[in-house]
Structure formats: C-alpha cells, structure tokens
Amino acid sequence: MIASNPFAELAALIPPSAMQAYVVVMVLLVVAGTILDMLHKQSARYFFENARQARKNATRTLSAGEKGALALKTLGKEVLTSGEFNNPKRRISHLFTMYGFIIFVVTTAILIFAYPTQEDPPALVPLLWHLGAAMLCLGGYWFWFAIRVDVASEGVKWYQLNGRGDLFIVGLLGMASFALLWSFTRGAGALNTLFFVLFVAFTTLLFGSVYWSKFAHMFFKPAAAFQKRVIKADGSRENMPAIYDPSDPEVQARFPDVPAYMGANPPNMGLGIKREAPNHF
C-alpha cells in the first residue's frame, strides 16, 4: 500500500485538474501570507535598515568569495542542520519535522502533477510520500509530547494551545497524521472519506494561516542568519550606533511593531525578526 499512489483512487471522484488547482492555491496562500506578515511586522524594513547601516559602519569590505563562504556556512548550519538549536533533542526533532515536511510536500506535488491517475508510479515516490509524513509525525509529536512540556524548554501542558503560536505545529501534525490515516484506510468507505476531509482541512489551515502562524519565519530566518555573519565578519557589529537598539525610543517610533525586548542581535533569531510566541520550529 505504501508503494501505491493514494491520489490515483481519488482521481475517480475529484478531477486531477481540481487537485492541481488546490495545490496552486496553497502556494499562493503561502506567498500572500508571507508578504502580509512582513508588511505587518515591518521585519523586512527593519532588516534592510540594519543592513544599510551596517555597510556604512563596516571596518572592511568583504570579497565575493568571503560572502560566498559565509553563505555556505549559513546554509550548512542554520538551514541544513539547524545548528542554532542548542538542545540536541529539539534539534533532532526539528530536523525530522523539517525534512519530513519538505519530502512530503515535494512528493505530493509530484504525485498530483506527474502521476495523478497512475496508481503505480515509480515506487520511490509514494514510498517517500509516506516516509515524509511519518518523519513529520515523529518530529512533531516528539516536540509536542516530550520537548514542549519540559519545564527546561517551555513547560506547556500537552493539551494547552498557545493561540496563534501553535497554529503551525497543529497544522503540520494534522496534515501529516490524517494523510497517513487516509492512505492506510483506502477502501474503508466513510472512515476513509472522513480522514481525507480532515487531511484537506488541516492542510488548508497550515497554508492558509501563514499570516498568523510561524510559517513565514522559515523564509526570513536564513537571510537574517547570513546577515549576522556578515556584520560580524566586516566589523560593523562593533560600530553599530545605539539608534539600532530596538529598545531605543527612536527605533520604537520608526518600527512600532518591533518589540523593545528584542536585542539588536537576538540569540538564534537574527536581525529584524519579531518574536510573538515561542519559536517552536
């Protein structure tokens, strides 16, 4: 069963074009939500203001090769291996969730766009689809039931929701969990239909709530991490004027949505990222 395409059977009820249109709409929701999030929080504006001021206060000019090396370090640590997490368990949980999400989303697109009616596509694709969903569940539930409740981390009861801060992880877990249940109950009639409806509902919640959730954070975070490395390497960090301390009244007046408690170089976050709730992933 895990080597067959779960969307092929669905194609008898829902036209492949409708499934493909749904995927496109989800992509557009992510783009729109990310843009709105950046406009509302002014994080991009604050980030570029800091970058411009850093260039003025740099003590040396980095070569293209040096910037390339910094970009590779950022890619290797903050992006591919999530090295900014000091807690090994949280880091492993995050990696399972991140790579599971990527594998699941990519293989979903492949199955829907390349093999929408083919029940037996190349076996690797549906295998990876199920593996991605399973990895997402492993990392997500590990975080939710073991790490999140740890008083050393957040100390939140497993049954408590932190409003908007939990939209992302709830959407992820619901999408992956009901995707697997939908696939494994094919032929079970109404139960299978229920799991499919919940799969679509949580997928829509995940991609449709980008503006309110932490989803947009993943797009801005690598740029902020790279900028942190640049200002450290070119010497501008030591020469940044006090005006760019977010606790400064002038900065608060210019960027009212940037919280005063967020330092100019907050740990693990980088310049210009607003922290409204615990950074789950």
Separation CA 40–CA 172 (nearest Å): 24
Q: What confidence score (pLDDT) does residue 276 get?
A: 38
Q: What is the pLDDT along the chain (281 residues), one digit of tens a residue?
A: 788 999 998 998 999 999 999 999 999 999 998 888 777 766 666 667 777 777 777 777 788 898 899 888 888 887 888 877 778 888 899 999 999 999 999 999 999 999 999 988 999 999 999 999 999 999 999 998 988 876 555 667 777 777 666 888 999 999 999 999 999 999 899 999 999 999 999 999 999 988 887 776 676 777 778 888 888 888 776 554 444 444 444 444 555 554 443 334 433 333 333 333 344 44
Structural contact between residues 82 and 95, judged by C-beta atoms closer than 8 angstroms: yes
What tokens does 277 get? 């709730």
Q: What confidence score (pLDDT) does residue 176 get?
A: 97
Structural contact between residues 84 and 229, judged by C-beta atoms closer than 8 angstroms: no
Q: What confidence score (pLDDT) does residue 206 get?
A: 93
Separation CA 63–CA 236 (nearest Å): 15
- Name the nearest CA neighbour of 183 among 114, 128, 144, 139: 128
What tokens does 83 get? 């090295």
In the chain, domain spans: 6-254
If you write DSSP's letter for every residue of the chain in order, what string do you get? -TTS-HHHHHTTTS-HHHHHHHHHHHHHHHHHHHHHHHHHH-HHHHHHHHHHHHHHH-SSPPPHHHHHHHHHHHIIIIIIS-TT--SHHHHHHHHHHHHHHHHHHHHHHHHHHH-SS-SS--THHHHHHHHHHHHHHHHHHHIIIIITT-TTTT---TT---GGGGHHHHHHHHHHHHHHHHHHTTT-THHHHHHHHHHHHHHHHHHHTTTTSSTTHHHHHHHHHHHHHHHHHSSHHHH--GGGSTTSHHHHHH-TTS-TTS-SS-TTT-TT----S----
Q: 0.85 exceeded by the pTM?
A: no
* 75 phi, psi to nearest 5 deg: -60, -45
Percent with pLDDT over 70 in the chain: 76
